[in-house]
Every structure is written in C-alpha cells, then in structure tokens.
Structure 1
Amino acid sequence: MDTRPVHYRSLVETAEALRTGETSARALTETMLERIGTLDPGYHSYFHVCTERALAKADAADAALRDGRCLGPLHGMPIAVKDLCRTDFAPTTAGMGINAGLMSETNATVVDRLEAAGAVILGKIAMTEGAYTGHHPNVSVPVNPLSRDHWVGTSSSGSGVATAAGFCFASLGSDTGGSIRYPSATCGLSGLKPTWGRVSRHGVFDLAPTLDHVGPMTRSAADCAATLQVIAGHDPKDPTSLDVPVPDYMSGLGRGVRDLRIGVDRDYAFDGVEASVAAALEAAIAQFERLGARIVEITLPPYEELVAEWVMMCAVETAYVHRETYPARAAEYGPDLSNLIDQGLAATGVQVARGNILRVTFSQALETMFEGIDCMLCPTMPTPTPTLAQMAGYGADPEVLNAILRYTAPFDFSGSPTLTLPNGLDGQGMPTSMQIVGPMLSEAVILRAGAAYQNATDWHCRHPDLG
C-alpha cells in the first residue's frame, strides 16, 4: 500500500484509484488547489491558477465516470501546462512582459489533447522569459522545493517545482537545450524529451523551432508514459509532426530489460564528472546488469564542436521568431533573451552553415551508433544540483553554459528521445540524475527501461517535506 500523501502519489496509481471509486477528481483537484493556495506563494511555480474552471472540469470527469465513460489514462487527473502552451481560457505570456495579458482564441494541440482525455488543467506554469535561460526581471523566480539555495533549472522551472512540490500530478515542459531535463534533474523528477516531431508544437510559443520539444515532467517513468500516450501523435496543424502510429506506451512497462542492449561511452559519461554523479551512474549501470540488461561499450560521435555551436544556433532561430517585436520593442525584453537575440542578429551565414553541417553529421552518426544498441546511459549534468550562487549569470558565461549543455544539447540537435531519472543523492542530500537516450521514436524502449529501474529502486519516491 502506498503510504505517501495523496499529492505525492503516482499519477498512474492515483488514476486507477479514481476509476475504482476510491477517490474522485473533485477531491484530487481540491487537494491540489488547496496546496497551491497555501504553499505556492513561497515557491512561485504557477503563473495563473484556473480554480473555478478546474473544479468544473473535475466535476465533469466524475460525472463521466459515473456514466461508465473513462476517456483515457489521465481522466480526472489534475495537471498543469507550461505558460508557452496557448490557451483560450487563461493568458499565455511565455514568461515575457511584452505578452502580459495576452489571450489566445484557440488552444495548443497538446492542451486540447489533454482535455479530450479528461485531464483537469489546474493552470499555467511559470517559466523563463521566452523559454531561454533567465526569468524576466518582473517575474518571481520559482524556488526549488528541495532546497531554496539550489538551482531549479530552466526554462521549465515552474513545471519542475509544481510537480516536485505536489502542486500537480504531472506537468508539461519544453526542451530546446535541456529545459525538461534540468528541472527534472534538480527536483528529483522523471522527465521525457520525446523524439522531435513525436508531440505537436502547434500553439506552443517558439524559442528555436528546429530544437524545441514538448514533453511530460512527472514523478515516474510510468507517469511519463501515461502522459505521452495522450499528447503524442500526428497533428495536421503542425507540419513538422511525425505521421507515424503511436504505440501503447503503457503496455510494455512491465517487460523488464532482460537482454536489452544498453550502451555506455565511459569517456563521455565519466570524464570530468563530479564524484557523486559518477558513483550514482556506476550504481545504475550495475542495477541494469542485475536486471538482465547487456551493457555495451560504445563511442559517441564527436560532439564537442556541435555543443559549442548551440547558443549561436538557438540565437539565430530565436531572432527570427522575435523579428516582429525585436529590436522594435527591445526595451521591454530582459537581458538574457535580448542578448541571445543580439547574438542571432550578428551571426553570419557561414557560421550558421557550419552549425548545420555539424548537426547533420552528428545526427547521422548517432543513428548509426544506435544500430548496435537499444539505448544508452549518461548523466543529465556533470555535477549534482548546483547552488544559486554557482549558477548566477550562467546564461552569459559560455564555459558554464557549454559544461551543462554537454549531456543535453547533442540530443536536442539530433531530436533523439531521452528520459531523465533520479538515481542517487549527493553529499548535501540533493538528487543526482541520469538519462536514458534512444534512437528516434524509441520512447517505448526507454520508458520500459526507466520503469524497470524504478521498480528496483526508490530514488523517484523521495519528496520534499513541505507540510
């Protein structure tokens, strides 16, 4: 029996309790709304809370269940969406002062899919300005519920805080250079960056369109699978979405990892990595071996030059996205985003060509590497969760930025799916984490591997004591 408070329980298990009548969508939604109202003023995870609408949606979900209609694995479950997902029922600012009060006439496709599956959207989650590294100066920065002195990651900062603090059962984040994975790592969550094109980006505010991914941030791999099941799939409104079938992600979670080929590039995974992160990854590798997986030595294609180009490549796309308001309204932008756009405007065609060539070369070599394995393991960051002091101004420091991009940016460039999982604690009791990375459209495999690891460990069951 799960003895955790209801707000920290698994989405999948709680959804089952709802279907069997042990709880109700109304009760779950009231619990979350009460916690948000009482505790979130100290953590700043929500930008906008849809109290009355959420309660009405919860009542509708309960009524549907009484009529014998269950709309899917998220039916009646209170979740939240990042403030870059457009909604017709709440403002969408993408963390930007320039968009204050902006209302959309339509919803992002992911929002419509969540609601069609019976999910109860509690509200919009706070984020960095434009989904880059820094929050707008007028925004209250989300606070890590595990430690106020530690970084919470960007840009899905509020999504990490709300999910870890028990202010929702899951949330949607986005990832351009690591923004699902960093907050998942720093808050002890399970976060999935799907294959690029697996989830529609229609109605989602762009940072850098060819790098942007939308995915779930949850408390377990199984919860990621349930959420992906709902939001994945082709969308005619997004011509970049992949027109391929969506598998049943939930059905394979219990298959285990026996004979699964898991690659490890020991130079990539361990060189220059802090001791507690390395030890946690070694322990995870040993755990997978005990579960029957085959660990395969691999060599990741050269990635260093590509990672060094991430800022420039992100910048040129961001400059294009903001061309109608920047530099015309530059004074309304915060420093991090405006500096990024300035870099994009200053980039030359030769620089962009070089970045694209490096990207295509790496991506093709990576897919070739995956022909011999099913997935690979590596850290999410080379250090444990850094302190706020250590990360002050990191967006303007190329050395610091390139160091943390080492394990994230390559897979934004390639579009490969990755699952971030907690796998230990550092000396200060903060979580360490790892990624399971797979070839294109291998979400079922990496979720299965993540679920097997979490069935054998309890790192994902540790939660902040907020009262």
Structure 2
Amino acid sequence: MPDFGVLFASIPQVAARYRAGTLSPVDVTRASLSRIEELNPALNAFITVTADLALAQAVHAETELRSGLDRGPLHGIPVALKDLTDTAGVRTTCGSRVLADHIPDKDADVTVRLREAGAVLLGKTNLLEFAYGIVHPDYGQTNNPWDVTRTSGGSSGGSAAAVAAGLCFAAFGTDTGGSIRIPAAYCGVTGFKPTYGLVRLDGVFPLSWSLDHGGPVARSSGDAALMLAALTGRPHNAAPRDLHGVRLGVLVEHTRGPEMQPGVAEVFERACDALRAAGAVLVQVRVPGLDLVEAAMMHVLQPEASAVHTAWLQQSPEKYAPDTRTQLEQGFEVSAVNHVRAQQFRRNLVRDFLAALTDVEAVLTPTVAWVAPHEDPVVSGDEGFAEARRTAPANLTGFPALSLNAGFSQGLPVGLQITTRPGEDARALSLGASVEALLNANRIPPLGSSPPFKRTAP
C-alpha cells in the first residue's frame, strides 16, 4: 500500500526528507500516481496523466539529488499543469473538442521553469472550456473533494481539486476573473493570483490577454510561494509575521449583499475576530464604483476572447460547447465605445483601490459569497457575476490577490481573500501564511470511506 500520508506533508517537509535520504522522489511519485488512479475517476481532476514521464523525471531527480545537484525546494516534487499550458509532446486540450488532439512541439515558459526547478510533472488538469466558464461535455465537471456532488469551481478546478485531494503538492493555474481563487476557496486550499505580468504566459492559451494571470495553487501560502518562485525564477518569502499592530482593511461592500450566504459571512467574521485578538488593527475601507465591475469586466473580456477564437468559430463552431460558443459570439457585439469606457473604468478602479490601501497593508474580503455549488454558473449570467464579484476587481486592476481557507460552512470550505498593492506579492503571501497559522483551518478532505475513496491521514 503506497504511503498516501506523505502526500499531505508540506513541500519543505518532503524536500528535507529527500535530502536526508529518508524519502525517495520515485516513491512519492508512485504514491501520487496511485492516488490519481484511485481518486481521479470520481474527481475528474486530470485530463491527461503522464505517468511514464513523471517516473522518468522522478528517477532523474533522485539521481541528481544523490549526486549533490540540488535544484531547489521543488526538486523531485510532483506537480500538475492546467491543461491550457503547452507541453512538448503531451497533448494540450484546453478542455475543448477544438484541440482534443493538439500536441504542442514546444513547452510553455512555465513548463520550462518547473522542469528547470526539478519538479515532476504528473499531468494536465481539467478546466472549463478554454477557461471561459463552461464545462465541455467531452471532459465533464471537476468534482469537489469535500463533496463529489459539487463542483470544484472554475476554471482552474482541476488544479485545485488535485491539490486538495493530495494528488499533487502544487499546480499551475490561470486566473482571468477569479479562476485560481474561486476553486481554491471551494476546495479549501490556497490560490494566488500574482501581480499582472509577474508570471510569463508564453505558451499558455489566452482567454483575455489584458486580464489573464498565471499563478500557483497549493495547500499553504508557504508552498504557493515556493511554486511562484519556480514559475518566476525569483524568490518569494512567505514567512509568517507577527500580526500585532498590522493594519488591515475590510472592504465593506464585499462583506454583504443579497448573494452572501450567512455561513460564509459568519466564517469571515470569525476570522476577523481572530485577527483582532492577535493584535491586528482592522478598519473599514470602501471603494466606489464596485457595482460597475461586472459590466466593465465583460466589456473587456468578451471582445478579447472573441478575437482569439475568430477563425475557429468560422471553421468549426460545432466543436465548442453551445454556451461557450454563445459567449464567444456575444463578444463581437461589444461596441468599441463600451470597450474604451471599460478601460477608463479600470484606470479609475486602480486609483480607488490604491486609495483604499493608503493606510492599510491589505484589503480583506470573503473570496466567494457562497460555498461550492453543485454546478458552475455561466460566466455571463447573474450567478456568474455574483460568483466573481469579489475576485474580478483584482483582475481589472492587476493587483496581487490570494485566497486561503478560513473555515467551514455546511461542512464545506470558505475562502478569505487578501489583496495588496501591485508588486507586493511577497506581502500577500506572508500575510496569508500568518493568517493560516492563526486560523489553523487547513484540513484534509475526508473523501468518504467507500470505493473509490479511502480515508487518509497526514
């Protein structure tokens, strides 16, 4: 029986055991692959599993470490890539029939960086079609490890579910309106959308070029920082801080609203109370114009997405899921005037968020107003707007934003979001680590006791 318990250790803990010679990258990779084989039929987190490649990379990592070549904390650590990330010789589907047989001949920049860091690639994770908010029936929904009748969120749901269920230690995701942070909130893990442009997206299929961000999904801010360091080639310190005297803003408009589930509001308030008890100073902040975010978001996203898909829509419209095709067709109807006004709104939103951050280190909100639903809402519908209401502003502004698990409602995870100024990615991660240590809310999904699941402990 593989040692599944080690799959829930932190990346530094596993890395230390590798270097002490008490744990093997090959054994850990085999345990990961065994767990994928066992759980993926119910979770549907992976589209493609690269078992042979992963084992070959694990053998290589083990040989290098034993010879004294140390590539850093991710050396020999099993990770996954959202399946819109190019991998030479391994298919990249984008969750669509359009690219069902697409095999790139070149790696994406993030793929290269992870390989150079010595990470072990387990495979490609499931996503909503072209990351645009609709499940293509050929691939199906990624189910939530806490309740497999519910969604893991989108569009990076496969990455979040895989990390939460212990199928991998970290995963790469993309975020255009919340697509890292929403699944992280639903699955009880940590998801980080860095400052716009910090992670290069060469070889990552675009949804909306001016809103797209790439970043890590992990089980803690510390592990996310290590993944981010590999993705960017620069260190990102996420050491927990003493919270005494730290000023944090609570964004009033995003702590309320008709869509806010009482249980989510209660978990957020308990987290705020814990921060105050730890000596943090919480103050209310406001940002004008937040009611205009949804319209501005779509007036930017829709035409940019439609421009990407113009040729395929003309050549093979039937290959798209119907709702994806409808959303792409709607993008051609957005007027140039509305697109320009949305870009003007973005500039004003940046100014107003900077003003809100003048006297505080970060802004806090719930990540999503509810716990994981049974299905993903359509992006351009009322529920889709409400789902991304608290995450989309950071895409419009490009500010770094992190979601961590703050607790549970109805037995399901609730996310807390931390937003900082542009370039203050390390601050967001460090505050995230501090809040995680304070709340101690990270847990392992029970996954049930009947096949195909087995209960595991770290």
**Paired residues of 2:42 and 2:148 also in contact (CA < 8 A):** no
What does 1:66-465 align with in structure 2 at a 5 Å threshold? 66-232=66-232, 246=234, 248-250=235-237, 252-272=238-258, 273-388=260-375, 391=376, 394-395=377-378, 398-426=381-409, 428-465=410-447
- How many Å separate the matches in 2 of 1:267 and 1:44? 36
Output one character per residue of 1:195-237: Cα deviation in whole Å (capped at 9) or x when no partner: 111101111000001111111111111111110111125xxxx
- How many Å separate the matches in 2 of 1:185 and 1:33? 25
- How many Å separate the matches in 2 of 1:54 and 1:267? 46
Normalising by structure 1, what TM-score? 0.92
Output one character per residue of 1:417-454: Cα deviation in whole Å (capped at 9) or x when no partner: 1110111111x201111101111011111111111122
Deviation for aligned residue 1:82: 0.5
**Paired residues of 1:80 and 1:125 also in contact (CA < 8 A):** yes
The amino acid of 2:312's aligned partner reads T
Normalising by structure 2, what TM-score? 0.94
Deviation for aligned residue 1:140: 2.8
- How many Å separate the matches in 2 of 1:461 and 1:43? 18
- How many Å separate the matches in 2 of 1:209 and 1:62? 38
SS in 2 for 1:431: strand
SS in 2 for 1:229: helix
SS in 1 for 2:405: strand
What does 1:38-53 align with in structure 2 at a 5 Å threshold? 38-53=38-53
**Paired residues of 2:45 and 2:125 also in contact (CA < 8 A):** yes
**Paired residues of 1:108 and 1:203 also in contact (CA < 8 A):** yes
Deviation for aligned residue 1:4: 8.3
**Paired residues of 1:257 and 1:448 also in contact (CA < 8 A):** no
**Paired residues of 2:109 and 2:200 also in contact (CA < 8 A):** yes
The amino acid of 2:416's aligned partner reads M
- How many Å separate the matches in 1 of 2:12 and 2:199? 20
Output one character per residue of 1:370-429: Cα deviation in whole Å (capped at 9) or x when no partner: 2221111101111222233xx5xx216622122112101111101111110111111x20
Q: Structure 2: where are the runs of 5+ without partners?
A: 448-452
- How many Å separate the matches in 1 of 2:345 and 2:220? 34
- How many Å separate the matches in 1 of 2:124 and 2:382? 33
Instruction: Identify which range, 185-194 or 325-334, moves more after superposition.
Output: 325-334
SS in 2 for 1:324: helix
- How many Å separate the matches in 1 of 2:179 and 2:427? 22
Partner of 2:450: none
**Paired residues of 2:240 and 2:437 also in contact (CA < 8 A):** no
Summarize the Cα distance change of 1:374–1:4 in structure 2 as closer, same or farther, 3 Å threshold.
farther
SS in 2 for 1:420: strand
**Paired residues of 1:190 and 1:460 also in contact (CA < 8 A):** no
Deviation for aligned residue 1:107: 0.6
SS in 2 for 1:253: coil
Q: Structure 1: where are the runs of 5+ without partners?
A: 234-245
Output one character per residue of 1:36-83: Cα deviation in whole Å (capped at 9) or x when no partner: 122212221111111111111111111111111210111110010000
The amino acid of 2:429's aligned partner reads L
What does 1:25-36 align with in structure 2 at a 5 Å threshold? 25-36=25-36
Runs of 4 or more, structure 1, over 4 Å off, are none
Q: Percent sequence identity over matched residues?
A: 33
Number of residue equivalences = 446
Deviation for aligned residue 1:313: 1.9
- How many Å separate the matches in 2 of 1:199 and 1:336? 30
- How many Å separate the matches in 2 of 1:459 and 1:190? 11
SS in 1 for 2:121: strand
SS in 2 for 1:202: coil
- How many Å separate the matches in 2 of 1:337 and 1:26? 40
The amino acid of 1:335's aligned partner reads P
**Paired residues of 2:293 and 2:393 also in contact (CA < 8 A):** yes
Deviation for aligned residue 1:22: 2.0
- How many Å separate the matches in 1 of 2:373 and 2:318? 31
Summarize the Cα distance change of 1:262–1:95 in structure 2 as closer, same or farther, 3 Å threshold.
same
- How many Å separate the matches in 1 of 2:370 and 2:344? 30
Output one character per residue of 1:68-106: Cα deviation in whole Å (capped at 9) or x when no partner: 121011111001000011010311111111112211121
